[in-house]
A and B are shown apart, each in its own frame.
Chain A
Amino acid sequence: MKKNAGNVPEHPMENLLRMDRIPHIWCSTCGIGTAVSCFIQALQNFDYPLDKIAVVSGIGCSGRIAGYIKLDSFHTTHGRAIPFATGLKLANPELKVIVFSGDGDLVSIGGNHLIHAARRNMDITVFCVNNFIYAMTGGQCAPTTPTDANSSTSPYGNFDHPFNIPLLVGSCGATYVARWTALHIRRLTRSMQEALEKPGFSFVEIIAPCSTLYARRNRLGTGLDLMKFYHDNSVIQHGAPLESLDIQFQKKIIVGKFIDKKRPTFLEAWDQYLGKKLGDKFISAEKGIRAA
């Protein structure tokens, strides 16, 4: 694509997008693009040197996010974005490390890493796009697919029970937990910024339409119809009890900020605890030599 030909104004997010990779792969009316826009806006509001921010994704539609962000970005294996990010952060603590991935990637195959990163209060920010389905592979059932919803591997409807993700990460010790939909652009952007600024394990769930698979299989109309559904059925309820955040098929969705607290991060605990135990003999992780 020719850069800024003629008098076409520069895209306002060009400094943070890999324009040479646009157009992206996402479907029209997919919610991921909105989540990325909110993220870029949040990054622009976030007072942190951009060269010191890294984005890590796993596999899936949302797994492609890292590839479009013009920062140090890593597209890893299925489910392993969080442990990859853990290594990246611990090796280079001055980095702000963001994991941006999908519900199947983070909560199913990566579920063990998710709960342990929250338990450790690993100093990373996780943005989880939840479209209720495995979209890239053709619409299979996910651990987030609501009971009764149809998917290609629950063709008679889903008899199983989905995760309540805020409850999961909140009970494991996350310091910041929020949920918004792709409709709540300003609130989501602000929430993303808050999550970025929050030390420790911060987590934002982003409910997003999958028009091609989830909506079609469940006869929910177009992406726009889903946005209308979010508009009519989202209930903002900050501080709502985590147990109340279950998502049921085509029922009300409670959104808002549920947890915002302080707790020592993994690295703070490492430094404080070992520093106390070992005294003068302790050398902090940051003083460890680099590979070169």
Chain B
Amino acid sequence: MKADPKGVLTGEHYLDGDHACTEGALAAGCRFFAGYPITPSTEVAERFSARIPHVGGIFIQMEDELGSMAAVVGASWGGKKSMTVTSGPGFSLMMENIGLAAMMETPCVIVNVQRGGPSTGLPTMVGQSDMMQARWGSHGDYEIIAISPASPQEAFDYSIKCFNLAEKYRVPVMFMMDECVGHMTEKVVIPNPDQIDVEPRRLTKKSPKDYLPYEPNEDLVPDMIVAGDGYRIHSTGLTHDERGYPAMKPEVQEKLVHRLVDKISKNADKIIELEEDQTDDADVIVMAYGITSRVTMPAIFKARKKGIKVGFIKMITVWPFPEKRVRELAKKVKAFVMPEINLGQVALELERVVSGKAGVHHIPHAGGWVHDPEDIYKVIVEAAK
């Protein structure tokens, strides 16, 4: 399906990451936004509030992030592609209904423009320390998809990707931006609507009589309905059977929770997007995401000039983690290097997957600023020894 032209601002723009993210959402067909202001994500909401009356849809500033996330889940069942945007403290409040979205298998996008934490932390300064929270911040076992952009152009492009994946896998998708990308202004090219692919909702073709709301297809994802279309379904945050009815039994729980996890992990190859550069004969591989993937590049260039064989993996998808690819590479390389603006979150997963087959060098940063490429360079040199 191609994008609805009403939402697409075709042309060349000079936009910051937050504004570009909004344009991506509108291009993807998002027509419902519920949110609560919080720095440094507010510009996404501001632009949506200005644009949506020209496109057709709703912007509602809710009373808090608890309500925002609940409204997003409700709106998605009402048949609109829906989103919210927040930063650290608001992300914490959203966790409750992110869990509901995962359990009800509700397509939706949560944008987190990350700032330094914990608590109020550094409201106007960069961080990447909500990555683990994005994955498992709500209680219980579930999997989500998380994507990180490194520029305003990517904020536009991958915002669309988030909505498409949310629809395809009926899962909340976390768009893990960071303050630096959110507040950085660069050229953003928005293509024509007929050049933008958007994923439609996977609506059932069955009649209400034959339809079971949680009966999975081969790809483990069930088809959906829109409230008001005559199916009279029930959906609950309780453990439920294929009819959607509560069923508090260990065997139902086993089946449901496994499927919620498997529909992401078993489709990981189709979901994961990486940009690889010179990884084939590398001794050291640097992996990074978001703004850190950019800051890393000068260090890599310098190391290569000094004759070190450095490969680079820019992670566009952070969750699910590219386990398969890292396992392959771990057999061949000396070490992995991962800078990230936290004290070790995605790097922990890297370490687990590498599982001692190669070295893992984490480069921590508590936030407030990006890494100094020189610091990354030094670790690459160390890792290559």
Contacts and interface: CB of A to CB of B under 8 A. Distances in A.
Q: CB–CB under 8 A between A and B in the complex?
A: yes
Given A86-B71, A291-B76, A113 B236 contact: no
A11 B61 CA distance: 44
A89 B78 contact: yes
Contacts of B233: 72-73
A157 B238 CA distance: 33
Interface string A79-90: 110111111111
Interface residues of A, number: 52
Contact of B70 (A66, A73, A77, A282): A77
A29 interface: no
B227 A90 contact: no
Nearest to B81: A291
B338 to A, nearest CB: 35
Interface stretch (B26-34, B148-156, B251-259, B365-373): B26-34
A20 B234 CA distance: 12
B234 A66 contact: yes
B201 A282 contact: no
Interface in A245-285: 266, 270, 274, 278, 281-285
Given A51-B228, A76-B70, A80-B96, A91 B78 contact: yes
Contact of B67 (A51, A80, A286): A80
Interface string B45-56: 000000011111
A113 B62 CA distance: 9
Contact of A95 (B32, B58, B227, B246): B227
B97 A91 contact: no
A38 interface: no
Interface in B4-21: 4, 6-7
A292 to B, nearest CB: 4
Interface in A94-122: 94-95, 112-113, 116
A91 B74 contact: yes
Nearest to B68: A83
A289 interface: yes
Nearest to B31: A288
A75 interface: yes
A231 interface: no
A245 B119 CA distance: 41
B364 interface: no
Interface string B64-75: 101110111111
B56 A283 contact: yes
B264 to A, nearest CB: 20
Contacts of B107: 291
B232 interface: yes
A77 B231 CA distance: 22
A18 B66 CA distance: 30
A73 B234 contact: yes
Given A288-B31, A291-B79, A84 B54 contact: no
Which of A54, A281, A284 has most B Cβ within 10 Å?
A54
Given A51-B230, A87-B32, A291 B201 contact: yes
Nearest to A273: B53
Interface in B211-245: 226-238, 243, 245
B230 A290 contact: no
B105 to A, nearest CB: 13
Which of B62, B70, B96, B233 has most A Cβ within 10 Å?
B70
A162 interface: no
B79 A91 contact: yes
Contacts of B96: 77, 80
B60 interface: yes
A21 interface: yes
Contacts of B72: 87
Contact of A83 (B31, B67, B238): B67
A283 B51 CA distance: 10
A88 B74 CA distance: 4
B201 A54 contact: no
Nearest to A56: B74
Contacts of B60: 86, 90, 266
A92 B78 contact: yes
Contacts of A54: 227-228
B80 A77 contact: no
B200 interface: yes
Contacts of B104: 74
A167 interface: no
B167 interface: yes
B55 A75 contact: no
Contact of A87 (B55, B81, B82): B82
B297 interface: no
B232 A87 contact: no
B237 A87 contact: no
B74 A113 contact: no
A282 B53 contact: yes
A283 B55 contact: yes
Nearest to B107: A291
A18 B228 contact: no
A238 interface: no
Given A21-B245, A87-B73, 10 more contacts: A50-B232, A73-B232, A74-B236, A83-B67, A87-B34, A92-B228, A288-B52, A289-B56, A290-B31, A290-B80
Interface of A: 18, 20-21, 50-52, 54, 56, 66-67, 70-77, 79-80, 82-92, 94-95, 112-113, 116, 266, 270, 274, 278, 281-292
